[in-house]
Structure 1
Amino acid sequence: MNYPEFTASFEEAGARPMQWAHTTGQTCGEALVTLLEGYGVQYVFGIPGVHTVELYRGLAASSIRHVTPRHEQGAGFMADGYARVTGKPGVCFIITGPGMTNIATAMAQAYADSIPMLVISSVNARRELGNGDGRLHELPSQRDVFTGLTAFSHTLLDAAELPQVLARAFAVFGGARPRPVHIEIPLDVIVAPARGMNLMPVVLPARPAGCPAALAAAADLLATARRPLILAGGGALHAAAELQELAERLQAPVALTINAKGLLPPEHPLLLGSTQSLPPTRALAREADVVLAVGTELGETDYDVVFDGGFSIEGRLIRIDIDAQQLMRNFSPDVAIPADSRQALGSLSTRLHERIMSARQREWGAQRVALARQAVEAGYDAPTRSQKRLVDTITAALPHVIIAGDSTSPVYAGNFVHDAPQPRSWFNSSTGYGTLGYGLPAAIGAKLAAPDRPVVCLIGDGGLQFTLPELASAVEARVPVVVLLWNNFSYGEIRRYMTARDIVPVGVDIHTPDFLALARGFGCVAARVDTPDALAAELQQAVSRDIPTVVEVNEADWFARVPA
């Protein structure tokens, strides 16, 4: 995935006069805050601890706002939600040891979904590293634990290295496949003098535009295709205009991954939706003679959520991705283009501008999409259609809404049935790593990123119990998210999965608290609804408040009152 929004903010910061660390007492921790300001960081998520207080010495006087979660996992998910909406990295200050192991799940989710996240932690003093002395928060090697969850994990052994290491991190976010970066600073380095340190951001590397010969080969394949197909993923989020132009030029059906929803408008005649795991769309993919896959892993959670290995590409395959290694995973390409998706799609469209599409190609696109969509919709079962009413009610009541979802039944349904009106408006944790508890803190981060847009957290009763205390964080930070709780009093999806495999359900019928009483206890407004009209009315009231609102929907009541 690529994030030009981050580069734009950096360029604005780079216009400032050169700034140097003062020689009169400024520490490495204070210099860090100044550098983060220069890179355009607006928020830091974290829980102060005895090992990180020196990171906070310069924070109060800066322009950066600190948001305190109730658990470091919540900090990571807030940073993730902020990054998905803005395209800029979410930043966390995390305590040594347990703070880092607490945030590990959030880092793994961000790693799986290519989300930019900067995690800055403390670590024991340099002379104590790896000694096994049993010191507070000590791990044998904290950096080694997180190397596999990051683009890189670095121990800052000298304060003078700080500008260069931060530059490496922001180069990953702006010019490569964005993933979490971890920088740990020993306790004695945090307080070390920052004498003569350059506190301005550096010039970031340009994104690759793509090899001209490979682009020409791809254009030749697409120009002669009779049945072209485009598969677009989150790596194309910033390339909506270029994607739509090329699709219309080719009259190519477009299937979007879950993280790419919104790249084409919902009513666009070439939009297949996100149904690559369903038979009608898979049949269309097999018919395609040339497939262009851009910014997508072609991975299981977007193309094979039924886990049957049934998605296949039988035509020629062109792949575009910022990550050269990803081009070789899952499906081998006939043409591989390591490049920024916006530049590569724009180049392809320009190269195809003078070429005349065949009559067969013009007839293929919209007609074949309409047939596929009709077949997909005819196959939806009653619960899916009823949950579609839930999602449709949200989007009708709250135009321009951002929906941050958890791993819960209406989100699974929405991944198939919902077409977002614009990019960065629908995302959830059911893709990639697939964690529970993501939705609430991610929605908080999303609302901070887009304060003028309504933000709804769509979450189940099981997932909400993972991060329920973050309601207090939202109240404290005055972040008026709407938490739409789908309550089936169990881990319902896992119960159904066990039953389908003829396993007696064990461990899935969980005790469910009185969520409305808990929500009010945290300082939120709380209500229960069971019809689309009641839900719409409650949502419209909720977005006028300056505190969070929890709206509970009982699954059984909704299904009884909202027939498919």
Structure 2
Amino acid sequence: MTTRPLGAQISHMLKDRGVDVIFGIPGVHNQEMYRGIEEAGITHVLARHEQGAGFMADGYARATGKPGVAYVISGPGLCNIMTPMGQAYSDSVPMLVISSVLDETEATRGQLHQMKDQERAAAAVCDWSVTARTADAAYALIDRALMQMETGVPSPKHIQVPIAQLEARADAALSRPVDWPVCPEPAPLQCATLTEQLEAASRPLFIFGGGAALDASRWLPDFQKLNAASFTTYAGRGIIPDDSPLHFGATLARASSADVIASADLVVAVGTRLSEVDLWRSDLGHTAPMIRVDLDHEVLSDRHRAETRILADAGAHLAESFGAIRDKKQTTWDAKEVSHMRARWRAEINAERPGILPVADALKAALPADTMIYSDMTQFAYAAKEVYPMDHPGHWHHPYGFGTLGYALPAAIGGAIGRRVGETHAPTIAILGDYGFQYTVQELAVAVELELTLPIIIWDNGKLGEIEDSMVRAQIAPNAVIQRNPDFLKLAEAYGAAATQPTTLAEFGQAIQTALQTKGPTVIRVTSDIALTSS
């Protein structure tokens, strides 16, 4: 084995474990981690802020299914990436953050980048945060993190290594075992099986979350013979084809969806937390027995009172359960009632946020079917993600749980990097509001630097529109919701990006298609009245 400084050995170990890209920013305290990156054959993406590096790692992980890895310095570097770590934890995204840490913090005050307790600070926003005080500990913890990401509920982990240890020479980590183990499917927590209860139901209803997206093609043909109705969460969109006659779409947040759910005689929730940001109400609304299928123990014992709880991989369990039902089922669901409710809910959304859905329709018409979309906390996304038809699952990513502004641009950069093969750029876009864009605008330089083909749509209403509407509903005089924006087109050009401002929906569609053929990013400013001015 070759002896190198531990900082260099870590990069070699990560490469051996399948890591090809690392996002980060070098500094004096973590420079030893950079000694081995090029030698190991890993691509490093230089972010302009650690928050951007974290969101890029998140976007890369969501696009590829592989852990997003980031290197940051001690103190402020770790603090800056904690917001993306919190977002990844909220949305179950595999992310590994490796940072340096001061060798000693109790006896000496006033050191560069000093924090009182860096490990515990990071632990507040991720699955676990630990300190590796030896080379063997660093290797064991990295393997533990990667193993848990591959075999359990994906989530971010943080490993910090004292600076002196990063500098000290160490033997290389052992190579990854050929038979890297995979967890077997755990047994159900109760004896009642999904198959038995489906056979007895006359009005079964499924709710699919993002955890059901993997290997959905294995069970989808058998699911269709059940004649069961379905919803998806926002993260689960695309699992069930949008034109399926008994599919209600991603409309759980519609208040009257509770009435539909109450009419079912069996509710099966798969791979979803059924969290506040899925429902925007305290209860799902079901009165029938509920089955939960999930890998997360916490989900199986939450407030939704599932009578049958199955701890299992969704794809494997659904494929086996549906395959056991031989004959096509007859149910009381009717395609007309589903169509009626979907039309009603679309009208509600259009009334709540006028002018957005025509733009979303134009966007859908302009994009190829395999486009991956990253959206920010913006009214355009709030409306579109309820009704935008998805051709594939896992192709629209949004900061659902933590709700962080500034997510979409760097996450889309990470996604575009993950989806790029040589000179081929799989279609990837970012959708942001005018305010959120300014949180991480500096990462536009990364997209320019890497010549990423990336349309960046800025929905510009000149204000914090969602907050203004919320204040009005709460009878609060709108305050601090109007800001002065820069000239976004000139700003984009200053970074070296292309820029355009369509004035009609037809021009908007053409701008999208042109941007997808352009080497480098394109900022597309869309004013909120474009649907009204179109001819």
8 Å CA contact 2:238–2:390 kept in 1: the answer is yes
2:462 — aligned with what?
489
Any idea what SS the aligned residue of 1:272 has? Answer: coil
- Runs of 5+ in structure 1 lacking a partner? 1-20
1:173 — aligned with what?
149
1:239 — aligned with what?
215
CA distance in 2, matches of 1:192, 1:526: 48
Instruction: Compute the displacement of 1:314 (Å).
Output: 1.1
Any idea what SS the aligned residue of 2:113 has? Answer: coil
Paired residues in the alignment total: 530
Instruction: Compute the displacement of 1:512 (Å).
Output: 0.8
Give CA deviations for 1:504-535 in whole Å, capped at 9, x if unaligned.
Answer: 11111111111111110000011111211101
Alignment of 1:244-323 (within 5 A): 244-304=220-280, 308-309=281-282, 311-323=284-296
CA distance in 2, matches of 1:274, 1:54: 47
Instruction: Compute the displacement of 1:560 (Å).
Output: 2.2
2:22 — aligned with what?
44
Paired amino acid for 2:492: A
1:475 — aligned with what?
448
The verdict on how the C-alpha distance between 1:57 and 1:94 changes in structure 2, with shifts beyond 3 A counting, is: same
Give CA deviations for 1:46-65 in whole Å, capped at 9, x if unaligned.
Answer: 01100111001011222211
Q: Which has the higher helix share?
A: 1
CA distance in 2, matches of 1:289, 1:182: 44
Instruction: Compute the displacement of 1:311 (Å).
Output: 3.3
Instruction: Compute the displacement of 1:124 (Å).
Output: 0.8
8 Å CA contact 2:58–2:95 kept in 1: the answer is yes
Residues 1:388 and 2:366 aligned together? no
CA distance in 2, matches of 1:255, 1:297: 14
CA distance in 2, matches of 1:96, 1:203: 35
Q: 2:123 pairs with 147, 150, 156, which one?
A: 147
Q: 1:184 pairs with 136, 160, 170, which one?
A: 160
Give CA deviations for 1:356-389 in whole Å, capped at 9, x if unaligned.
Answer: 63x3x1x415444223223223433346463122
Paired amino acid for 1:133: R
Give CA deviations for 1:411-433 in whole Å, capped at 9, x if unaligned.
Answer: 0001211121101211112x101
8 Å CA contact 1:290–1:317 kept in 2: the answer is yes
Residues 1:348 and 2:324 aligned together? no
The verdict on how the C-alpha distance between 1:120 and 1:142 changes in structure 2, with shifts beyond 3 A counting, is: same
TM-score (norm 1): 0.90
Query: Root-mean-square deviation (CA), in Å?
Result: 1.9
1:200 — aligned with what?
176
Instruction: Compute the displacement of 1:202 (Å).
Output: 7.0
Alignment of 1:83-102 (within 5 A): 83-102=61-80
CA distance in 2, matches of 1:475, 1:164: 38
CA distance in 2, matches of 1:201, 1:137: 37
Any idea what SS the aligned residue of 2:37 has? Answer: coil
8 Å CA contact 2:188–2:312 kept in 1: the answer is no
CA distance in 1, matches of 2:190, 2:252: 27
8 Å CA contact 2:450–2:520 kept in 1: the answer is no
Instruction: Compute the displacement of 1:200 (Å).
Output: 2.6
Residues 1:22 and 2:2 aligned together? yes
The verdict on how the C-alpha distance between 1:510 and 1:234 changes in structure 2, with shifts beyond 3 A counting, is: same
CA distance in 2, matches of 1:378, 1:505: 26
Residues 1:401 and 2:381 aligned together? no
Any idea what SS the aligned residue of 1:61 has? Answer: helix
Instruction: Compute the displacement of 1:237 (Å).
Output: 1.7
The verdict on how the C-alpha distance between 1:213 and 1:330 changes in structure 2, with shifts beyond 3 A counting, is: closer
CA distance in 1, matches of 2:178, 2:115: 33
Any idea what SS the aligned residue of 1:407 has? Answer: coil
8 Å CA contact 1:247–1:254 kept in 2: the answer is no
Instruction: Compute the displacement of 1:242 (Å).
Output: 3.8
CA distance in 2, matches of 1:188, 1:61: 21
8 Å CA contact 1:132–1:138 kept in 2: the answer is no
8 Å CA contact 2:366–2:512 kept in 1: the answer is yes
Instruction: Compute the displacement of 1:275 (Å).
Output: 0.3
Give CA deviations for 1:189-218 in whole Å, capped at 9, x if unaligned.
Answer: 112222263133574442342426847522
CA distance in 2, matches of 1:318, 1:192: 53
Paired amino acid for 2:36: G
Give CA deviations for 1:493-513 in whole Å, capped at 9, x if unaligned.
Answer: 101111121111111111111
Any idea what SS the aligned residue of 1:364 has? Answer: coil
Paired amino acid for 2:69: V
8 Å CA contact 1:107–1:180 kept in 2: the answer is yes
8 Å CA contact 1:447–1:479 kept in 2: the answer is yes
Alignment of 1:158-169 (within 5 A): 158-169=134-145
Residues 1:561 and 2:530 aligned together? no
CA distance in 2, matches of 1:243, 1:500: 44
Instruction: Compute the displacement of 1:252 (Å).
Output: 1.2
Residues 1:521 and 2:494 aligned together? yes
8 Å CA contact 1:457–1:484 kept in 2: the answer is yes
The verdict on how the C-alpha distance between 1:356 and 1:511 changes in structure 2, with shifts beyond 3 A counting, is: closer
Any idea what SS the aligned residue of 1:337 has? Answer: strand
8 Å CA contact 2:209–2:232 kept in 1: the answer is yes
2:419 — aligned with what?
450
2:13 — aligned with what?
35
Give CA deviations for 1:341-368 in whole Å, capped at 9, x if unaligned.
Answer: 11111121123x23563x3x1x415444
CA distance in 1, matches of 2:395, 2:455: 15
CA distance in 1, matches of 2:504, 2:531: 9
8 Å CA contact 1:91–1:119 kept in 2: the answer is yes
Any idea what SS the aligned residue of 1:219 has? Answer: helix
Alignment of 1:79-118 (within 5 A): 79-118=57-96
CA distance in 1, matches of 2:251, 2:383: 11
Q: 1:62 pairs with 25, 40, 59, which one?
A: 40
The verdict on how the C-alpha distance between 1:472 and 1:542 changes in structure 2, with shifts beyond 3 A counting, is: same
1:16 — aligned with what?
none
The verdict on how the C-alpha distance between 1:382 and 1:121 changes in structure 2, with shifts beyond 3 A counting, is: same
Paired amino acid for 1:447: A
Any idea what SS the aligned residue of 2:57 has? Answer: helix
Paired amino acid for 2:397: F
Give CA deviations for 1:391-412 in whole Å, capped at 9, x if unaligned.
Answer: 2222221212111000001100
8 Å CA contact 1:387–1:413 kept in 2: the answer is yes
Give CA deviations for 1:90-146 in whole Å, capped at 9, x if unaligned.
Answer: 100011000111111111011000000000001112xx1443522111111111011
- Runs of 5+ in structure 2 lacking a partner? none
Q: 2:99 pairs with 96, 115, 121, which one?
A: 121
Residues 1:436 and 2:405 aligned together? yes
Paired amino acid for 1:560: L
Instruction: Compute the displacement of 1:562 (Å).
Output: 4.7
Any idea what SS the aligned residue of 2:193 has? Answer: helix
8 Å CA contact 1:170–1:204 kept in 2: the answer is no
CA distance in 1, matches of 2:358, 2:183: 41
CA distance in 2, matches of 1:132, 1:229: 61
Q: 1:425 pairs with 395, 398, 402, which one?
A: 395
- Larger mean CA deviation between 403-412 and 368-377 belongs to 368-377
Paired amino acid for 1:53: Q
8 Å CA contact 2:492–2:498 kept in 1: the answer is yes
Paired amino acid for 2:286: I
